Amino acid sequence: MAAVSIRGLGEVPLIARLARRLGGAGKGRGVLAGIGDDAAVLRSSGGAPLLLACDMLVEGVHFTRRLPARWIGWKALAVNLSDIAAMAGTPRWAVVSLGLPPSTPVRFVDGLYDGLGACARRFATAIVGGDTVRAPQVVVDVAILGTAGPRGPVLRRGARPGDALFVTGRLGGSLASGRHARFTPRVREAQALAARLPVHAMMDLSDGLASDLWQLARASRAALRVEAARLPVSRAGKTVYHALMDGEDFELLFAVPAWAAARVPTRLGACPVTRIGEVRARGARVELQTRHGRIQTLIPSGFRHF
Amino acid sequence: MAAVSIRGLGEVPLIARLARRLGGAGKGRGVLAGIGDDAAVLRSSGGAPLLLACDMLVEGVHFTRRLPARWIGWKALAVNLSDIAAMAGTPRWAVVSLGLPPSTPVRFVDGLYDGLGACARRFATAIVGGDTVRAPQVVVDVAILGTAGPRGPVLRRGARPGDALFVTGRLGGSLASGRHARFTPRVREAQALAARLPVHAMMDLSDGLASDLWQLARASRAALRVEAARLPVSRAGKTVYHALMDGEDFELLFAVPAWAAARVPTRLGACPVTRIGEVRARGARVELQTRHGRIQTLIPSGFRHF
């Protein structure tokens, strides 16, 4: 019998398996939230809880060298900032592990660091260390450390029946338009929302709205319904289908109680904020109300990692 | 003219270049020590300073699949624990980025996580999150977060003329013997040393003693001299040459003032501690006193990353 490969397993079951496999090693003193949210929430001695996350970009999978090195560097940090934004936190420090083929032009590495540096300065995050190793292709892995906001971190698991669902920005076509590497992580938008509203749950959109709605539904054990007519489709995304299925939007998906829905601004600076649906009941499920009023169960079929 | 590649540059100049390139993005509020030590030292609000580090292992560069998956997992965390040990800190939490080919057997991933979990439990470190992505070969990058000990972190830059130099364990042959993947990071030994002695400088040995002595000499701007006759050569290392040149010992190199040298224990549990030399003057230099009494300048020619 052939050995089972992870291709046959899929990412969500793989991560669940790894978390089970770690057992007690996945928990520990000071762990307020661990595997399964955008960032881990950790209780250090005194002060705000810490937020810790990491994201790996691999050449040929997440980017090619046709993308300018500067944007690869920007993206490598920005995807991590997006994880901190998803918790309504403040990014503080990052470390960068860089795998490089020996043949890599110095100019490419310079460009990559210029992009990392530009993104770091823009979001007041210090790059404080890292590791540089040989690899068959370029691999950039950033780990980020931040702090939770004054109202504490916003987790994925807090959505409740009756909540209204919102997204920032416009969805779809991120890979086609190049936005996936040049996007602005919603750090300030998330902080502004959490400061003025009781945000029950929040996450960033990385695998595609349909897939990420399922993540929120599972974490909150809640049935979500979104309306096709309300989805903010980006110009590059063109259709509701792409707004639902395309990955790497790096916008925010969040839930607020119904009474607060009217207080959610329609814009935060230049960033639109759109009500897309609601939380209807207990039990993980995701439904789409079509433009013709039909209710369809959405399949979590966004970006497949394996 | 051909573009200059990083092969022509080497790792130390590459890292110096990246640090310069980052400029202000490498510094920031709360950064007590940044790029260039075993871990970054960060001032969070209240409590002990935080220690943050990362290390990337790449299949075909740092391990092959002939190594049992369990030991790849153990090593991936242990090299990071060694960075925290080098600061005399306490490891607390880790995140794991994992790049995997879709064809990877589930059994391999299970083994890798068993190794990570075993190492995490042994050193009371919680694995609190991570990222799992597709890659052409296995890549494991761990970022670790710890806290400094009650006397603060021990940096590389504090060695002073007159200090005595020590190493833990026995050196050389780590790759040949398989120890490179099964080693015990010197977390407890470092804590015990820092608790009872004024350790001026410390680092872990990863690139080979000769190369790492140069790192300490540069960081402390100090001239170091070690005696060939004193070096604790491991059974697998066999010769002084291998003790100086072989990488991945993951032992500690540290400096204490001369008056405290006699108080350094010759063993910590099962781990020998050996006086190997001294700090002689200001100005980065590393010398070897041969068995015949000759003084040679050591060349920093340990493990080459590129």
Q: What is the DSSP string of chain B?
A: -PPPBGGGT-HHHHHHHHHHHHGGGG--TTEEE-BTBSSEEE--SSSSPEEEEEEEEEBTTTB-TTS-HHHHHHHHHHHHHHHHHHTT-EEEEEEEEEEE-TT-BHHHHHHHHHHHHHHHHHTT-EEEEEEEEE-SS-EEEEEEEEE--TT----STT--TT-EEEEES-BS-HHHHTHHHH----HHHHHHHHHHS---EEEE--S-HHHHHHHHHHHHTEEEEEEGGG--B-TTT-SHHHHHH------EEEEE-HHHHTTS-SEETTEEEEEEEEEEEESSEEEEE-TTS-EEEPP--S----
* Chain B residues with CB-CB distance to A82 below 8 A: none
User: Are residues A128 and A219 both part of a single domain?
Assistant: no
The nearest alpha carbon in chain A to B58 belongs to: A135
Burial of A160 (0-12, 13-18, 19+ CB in 10 A): middle
Q: What does the pLDDT look like over A132-143, one tens digit per residue?
A: 999 999 999 999
Dihedral sign for Cα atoms in the order A219, A189, A248, A19 = negative
- Average pLDDT rounded to a whole number, residues A174-178: 93
**Are the beta carbons of B121 and A40 separated by less than 8 Å?**
no
Question: Which of 125-144 (B) contact A at CB < 8 A?
Answer: 125-137, 139, 141, 143
Q: List the single best residue of B128, B139, B215, B248 to mutate versus A (max A Cβ within 10 A).
A: B128
pLDDT at A155: 97
A127 and A235, same domain (yes or no): no
Looking at B84, B117, B147, which one is the last position of a domain? B147
Domain identity same for B137 and B207: no
Residue with tokens 């060298």: A65
Do B176 and B131 sit in the same domain of this protein? no
Measured CA to CA, the distance from residue B46 to residue B61 in angstroms comes to 40
Residue at token pair 């991945």: B248
Do B40 and B137 belong together in one domain? Answer: yes
Residues A207 and A292 in one domain: yes
- Quote the CA–CA distance of B16 and B222 in Å, as a whole number: 19
- Determine the pLDDT at residue B302: 62
> Residue B89's pLDDT is what?
98
**Confidence check: pLDDT of A266 > 90:** yes
Taking an 8 Å cut-off on Cβ atoms, the answer to whether B145 and A145 are in contact is yes
- Domain contains A138: yes
More confident call, A156 vs A44: A156
**Looking at the domain assignment, is residue B242 inside a domain?**
yes
Q: Is the ipTM of this complex over 0.90?
A: yes
For residue A241, the distance in angstroms to the closest alpha carbon of chain B comes to: 24
Q: CATH number, domain at A74? A: 3.30.1330.10
- Flag whether residue A3 sits within 8 Å of chain B, measured between CB atoms: yes
- Cβ within 8 Å of B, A 70-99: 92-93, 95-99
Q: What is the pLDDT, as a whole number, of residue B288?
A: 96
Question: The pTM is what?
Answer: 0.95
Radius of gyration of chain A (CA): 19
Q: Do A139 and B6 touch (CB under 8 A)?
A: no
Strands A295-297 and B50-58: unpaired
**Tell me, what's the pLDDT at A2?**
57
Question: Would you call A55 an interface residue with chain B, using a CB distance cutoff of 8 Å?
Answer: yes
* B238 token code pair: 């066999």
- Please tell me which of the candidates B121, B125, B128 has its beta carbon nearest to residue A52: B128
The stretch A218-244 carries a mean pLDDT of 97
Q: Taking CB atoms and an 8 Å limit, are B54 and A27 in contact across chains?
A: no
B5 and A92 within 8 Å at the Cβ level: the answer is: no
Across-strand partners of A187? none
pLDDT at A257 exceeding the cut of 60 = yes
How far apart (Å, rounded) are the C-alpha atoms in residues B285 and B94?
Answer: 36
Last residue of a domain, one of A118, A147, A176: A147
Residues A141 and A169 in one domain: no
Could you tell me if residue B292 is inside a domain?
yes
Could you tell me which residue, A182 or B16, shows the higher pLDDT? A182
A109 Cβ under 8 Å from any chain B Cβ: yes
What pLDDT was estimated at residue B7? 87
Take residue A143 and report the two structure tokens written for it: 């780990």
Instruction: Say what the pLDDT of residue A303 is.
Output: 60
Closest-CA residue in chain B for A15?
B132
> What residues make up the domain containing A262?
164-297
- The residue that leads in pLDDT, A20 or B171, is B171
Q: Is B42 on the interface with A (CB under 8 A)?
A: yes
Residues B138 and B173 grouped into a single domain: no
- A24 CA to chain B: closest CA distance, Å? 7
Which chain B residues contact residue A16 at CB under 8 A? Answer: none
| pLDDT, position B305 | 67
pLDDT beneath 50: ranges in chain B? 1
B31 touches A at CB < 8 Å? yes
Whether residue A272 lies inside any domain: the answer is yes
Any domain includes B6: no
CB of B61 less than 8 A from some CB of A: yes
CA–CA separation, A61 and A232 (whole Å): 27
- Whether B1 is covered by a domain: the verdict is no
Q: Which residue has the higher pLDDT, B305 or A119?
A: A119
Q: What is the mean pLDDT of chain A?
A: 94
Q: pLDDT band for position A11 (50/70/90)?
A: confident
**Do B204 and B142 lie in a common domain?**
no
Is residue A132 within 8 Å of residue A95, measured between CB atoms? no
- Report pLDDT for A3: 73
CA distances from B72 to B64, B132, B167 (A): 9, 16, 25
Q: Are residues A187 and A248 in the same domain?
A: yes
Gap between the Cα atoms of A25 and B44, Å rounded? 25
Whichever domain contains B170, its CATH number is 3.90.650.10
**CA nearest to A169, candidates A286, A276, A288, A79:** A276
Taking residues A16-38, report their average pLDDT.
86
Residues of chain A found within 8 Å of residue B56, distances taken between Cβ atoms: 97-99, 131, 133, 135, 139, 141
- pLDDT for the residue A8: 78
Asked if residue B70 is part of any domain, the answer here is yes
Q: Give how far the C-alpha of residue B281 lies from the chain's centroid of Cα atoms, to the nearest Å.
A: 24
Whether residue B192 is found in the same domain as residue B256: yes
- Residue A206 falls inside a structural domain: yes
Distance in angstroms (rounded) separating the CA atoms of residues B198 and B177: 34
Contact A147 B45 (CB under 8 A): yes
B239 part of contact set with chain A, CB < 8 Å:
no
Same domain, A53 and A109: yes
Taking the CA of residue B64 and the nearest CA in chain A, the distance in Å comes to 13
Q: How many domains does chain A have?
A: 2
Q: For Cα atoms B80, A137, A101, give the angle at the middle one, nearest 5 degrees.
A: 80
Whether residues A131 and B92 touch (CB distance < 8 A) is answered with no
Kindly state whether A30 is in contact with chain B, defined as any CB-CB distance less than 8 angstroms: yes
- Residue finishing a domain among A113, A147, A181: A147
Q: Is the pLDDT of residue A171 over 60?
A: yes
